[in-house]
Structure 1
């Protein structure tokens, strides 16, 4: 038996044992013992406590840690609204496969069912937002509860877990030892018979295409895909969360990203393909009812989890196994002389030439703001392959997903399961913490930025080098242009004017305006050399947004 301790100490020690580096959140009376331990511990392995300006943003930062590292980010809040404010962040993490462990204070056990101060059914409230939601009833169970929540958050499909912690449980004595460091979750690769079956389908396909989804974007899986492509060079279509799977040296294999509207080169590629190899694909990213509705070819589903079957998605072969191990075995066993026909190679080359031409900045612009491609072009010229770029939701999100290139997995981050406003700056904070010394860029619209813009103070306090671009047009434009395309007018989308450079300065950050392409280039040059957060306010002209819903393939606005 260990020396007697209380529940808060057992929880703190459990986080140390699992290697938790940070705890994000807001304080309160129900969790003050835990926060006190985090603030004043002399243990060099103690998690760093980072206080945020809103619980939702704390959950977003924790999910950013989860996406970047594959290990759960941890968020801790007090009871009542401290817990309920977690809901959006946790449901986003669960939808998009980002491991998070959320800790929520709770009233003492004998008050849970009473109408007392901040008493809410926390466990039940967050049950639908998480993979698992529990309330600890015995202080001796705290460590094993945390260990199981940590493991469940990481297990495929990764997502959020929640632990409700009544105050008297955190106060109670604990005599049991804490759970030690967990062993990694291991899966085996597909067996030899399955490998042979996959290879047989590949050999008989005229145009096999890889659809790289969210679970293809780990370093191990991406490396395995690269190995496969060096053996057999075929087209790859990325989902938004699969961004960066294709490295710079394999750019000839990149045929765009798919999501939202079915009118991209990737959509054409999937339709032409007689064998789609869906790797780590999740329907929440881009529903099969959009891209698979009129195809006649086969589908191989290779993933660490079983797929969701629907009328529009019934794979011809389902392989549930370790993705990286299976792809490496495939590459090893492919025939040395395998390849696409010369006619097909020429066809693919012509498609790609047309695809690349779409990235060119128009020769004539309105002069009423920068064209989206002018902003993307300036940013693309500024970054390197190690730059992490986080993208909020809005019209800029579609332009970035279609035209901005990224060559390393999980270096271009999108919210594509929930399309949650406000994620970009919190994710950028996570990236700045996990990737110190590397450039970090956050891209948001003027609407979404103010969902979490208060975390500029957090970034300033931590002296994080984040360059925040705000595409400013005074509307919730992603809704506006779709309303206009459907109804010929817009409703409920007009916003008031904000000077985001002055807003930044009020937090102690650096604020800049960039109203021309030359000014944007100069501002980016300065911003990347400036210590601490920088916000660049950029007027944008979205007149060409109608092109985002133009028809390459028959589509329905959604």
Structure 2
């Protein structure tokens, strides 16, 4: 006979069995039994409870754990507004393929149909934010529900799974044994016939291009992709979430990232290509109408999930299986037999030369402000291949996505599906916990930073080494420059100033202020030598932002 335990204890044992290391969240009466048992559990493998300052940020941190490790991060909140505050975090995770399990406290079962304190239809609320949404009605089902939520969160396409847990289910007794550690599915690959067909398409194409998306950024897929690129020097275009799939060793295969405004070297290459190998590509990253408007190219879709078919995305070959196994089989067909023509190589060199000048830092500067490219170059000089850089949404996000290089997958993180403000600092906390001995840099604008800036206290409490850089200009500038481009003027984008040095110090962090280009290097050097969280306020010169949207291709949809 199994030992009797509470539903919350069965839930915790289920987390232990699946290797969960952390639970992030905010306490409340409907989930306090779980928090008590997490805090005072006897098992040394009990997940560490980390209290945050907002439920949305707790979800972001959990999603960051999911993106960095491939295993679900876990967030737990109380009922009512505690659950509703999770919606944005879970929608972002589901759109962007980050595995998360959200545990939402709920009123006792006999209150579910009553208009009582903090009673909301949590399960129904999360139906469109998560891949699965289940309300557990019996303590005996807690472990099964958690294990199935885990499976739902990690199965392609990864995303969020939500469990509504009535308070009396957490406190009720159960003697049912917990689900054992889950097994990984044995995934196959494309057939030999299909592999040969793809190889023939590549060999017959004039300009084949690899388009690497979010699901190409796993360590396993990236390793297989590197092996392929060593055999055949195919050009690679990354999505923002595919950042880092091209290693430093293979940098000559890298032809930029695409994600906004269709005016980059990657856009030009995709436009000219007659064969696109879309590897782990998800349309939420960059819709096919942006890169296949002419419908004049063949497309091979290599992924773990079925593609979304649209007018602009109708692949000629669809592979729905293990990506790395398929790439490995494709690599074997090219050993010592194929390379791009001299003419194509020259075309690629010309394209690289044409776009390389965009990275040059302008010599003239606005007094007291620093050009985005100067910030990027200064930051680039101070990071290494082990550094994790998380990026919030704003004008800085476009500059970073286009011009900041990274050589390892999932070391440069963007929210490009939902473009959610406030993700950067929570993701940096996740990175500092997951990669504790490695440098972590968070990059935000002064608009997005205060969406989650209160988590600076969490970073201080946990003694995390995070450099938080804020590009300051006093506007929601990503909206501002696009409004000006469309209407000739802006509206509703200005806000008041904040002393970010004092803000940082009030939380117990170090605050540093850049006063212009002249002291940028000195201040950043000090930041990188600082132990614990440090905030660096850099006044940014966004005068060239309109160039981000200008010079669009002639056929672009406006």
TM-score, normalised with respect to structure 2: 0.99
Give 1:368 shift. Answer: 4.7
* CA deviation profile, 1:166-221 (whole Å, cap 9, x unmatched): 01111111021000111123311111111111111111111110000000000000
Aligned 8 A contact 2:368 2:517 in 1: no
Residue of structure 1 equivalent to 2:286: 286
1:493: which partner in 2? 493
Which residue of structure 2 aligns with residue 476 of structure 1?
476
* 1:439 paired to 2:454: no
The answer on 1:146 being equivalent to 2:146 is yes
1:51-200 matched pairs, under 5 angstroms: 51-200=51-200
CA contact under 8 A between 1:390 and 1:424: conserved in structure 2? yes
Whether 2:338 is the aligned partner of 1:338: answer yes
Distance 2:168 2:94 in 1: 29
Distance 1:69 1:411, change over 3 A: same
- Match in the other structure for 2:315: 315
Q: CA deviation at 1:354?
A: 2.6
Residue pair 1:94, 1:131 contacting (<8 A) in 2 also: yes
Partner of 2:220: 220
Alpha-carbon deviation of 1:241?
0.1
Answering whether residue 270 of structure 2 is matched by residue 270 of structure 1, we say yes
* Aligned-residue offset at 1:307: 0.2
- Are residue 241 (structure 1) and residue 267 (structure 2) matched? no
Q: Distance in 2 between matches of 1:261 and 1:413?
A: 19
* Whole-angstrom CA distance in 2 between matches of 1:428 and 1:517: 26
The answer on whether the counterparts of 2:390 and 2:412 sit within 8 Å (CA) in structure 1 is: yes
User: Secondary structure at 2:130's aligned position in 1?
Assistant: coil
Q: Using the TM superposition, give the Cα deviation of residue 555 of structure 1 relative to its aligned residue in structure 2, in angstroms.
A: 6.0
Residue 492 of structure 1 aligns to a residue whose secondary structure is: coil
Contact 1:262 1:555 in 2 (8 A): no
Distance 1:413 1:405 in 2: 12
Is this contact kept in 1: 2:369–2:517, CA < 8 A?
no
CA contact (8 A) 2:83 2:104 kept: yes
Contact 2:59 2:90 in 1 (8 A): yes
Distance 2:513 2:499 in 1: 9
Deviation at residue 344 of structure 1 after TM alignment: 1.4
Tell me the equivalent position of 1:26. Answer: 26
Q: Decide whether the 8 Å contact of 1:261 with 1:557 is kept in 2.
A: no
Q: Deviations over 1:231-284 (max 9, x none)?
A: 000110000000000000111000000011111100000011110000000000
Aligned to 2:545: 545
Residue of structure 2 in register with 1:396 after alignment: 396
**2:458 aligned counterpart, secondary structure:** helix
- Which deviations, in whole Å up to 9, do the C-alpha atoms of 1:370-412 show, x marking residues without a partner? 1000110110011111100000000000000000000000000
Q: Is the 8 A contact 1:482 1:557 kept in 2?
A: no
Indicate the SS of the match to 1:260: coil
> How many angstroms apart in 1 are the aligned matches of 2:552 and 2:290?
13
Structure 2 residue matching 1:470: 3-state secondary structure: strand
Structure 1 stretches of 4+ with a deviation exceeding 4 A read 555-558
Contact 1:262-1:554 at 8 Å conserved across structures:
no
Contact map agreement 2:107 2:118 (CA 8 A) in 1: yes
Q: In the alignment, what sits opposite 1:425?
A: 425
- Cα displacement (A) at 1:356: 2.4
In the alignment, structure 1 residue 531 sits paired with structure 2 residue 531: yes
Verify: 1:370 aligned to 2:363, yes or no: no
User: Does residue 261 of structure 2 align to residue 261 of structure 1?
Assistant: yes
Inter-partner Cα distance in structure 1 for 2:37 and 2:231: 53
Q: 1:271·1:295 contact (CA, 8 Å) conserved in 2?
A: no
CA deviations on 1:482-507 (whole Å, 9 max, x unpaired) are 00000000000001011111100000
Q: What is the deviation of 1:557?
A: 7.5
State the shift of 1:437 in Å. 1.1
Query: For residues 289 and 273 of structure 2, what CA distance do their matches in structure 1 show?
Result: 16
Which structure 2 residue ranges, 5 or more long, are not aligned?
A: none
- Secondary structure (helix, strand or coil) at the match of 1:177 reads coil
2:324 matches 1:327: no
Shift of 1:119: 0.2
- CA distance in structure 1 between the partners assigned to 2:295 and 2:556 by the alignment: 17
Return the alpha-carbon distance in structure 2 between the equivalents of residues 315 and 367 of structure 1: 51
SS at match of 1:455: helix
Q: Secondary structure in 2 aligned to 1:242?
A: coil
Tell me how far apart the structure 2 counterparts of residues 311 and 438 of structure 1 sit (CA, whole Å): 44
Correspondence list, 1:517-528, <5 A: 517-528=517-528
Aligned to 1:408: 408
Q: Deviations over 1:426-473 (max 9, x none)?
A: 000000000011000000000000000000000000000000000000
Report deviation, 1:367. 2.4
* 1:534 CA displacement: 0.3
Distance 1:116 1:100 in 2: 29
CA distance in 2, matches of 1:551, 1:358: 12
CA distance in structure 2 between the aligned counterparts of 1:447 and 1:504, rounded to whole angstroms? 16
Q: Which moved more, 1:184-193 or 1:259-268?
A: 184-193
Displacement after TM superposition at 1:291 (Å) = 1.0
Given that residues 95 and 418 in structure 1 are in contact (C-alpha distance below 8 angstroms), is that contact kept between their aligned partners in structure 2?
Answer: yes
What residue number does 1:360 align with? 360
Please state whether the residue corresponding to 2:202 is helix, strand or coil.
Answer: helix
Tell me the residue number matched to 2:211: 211
The C-alpha deviation readout for 1:504-547, integer Å capped at 9, x for no partner, is 00000000001222322111111111111000011001100011
Structural RMSD (CA): 1.0
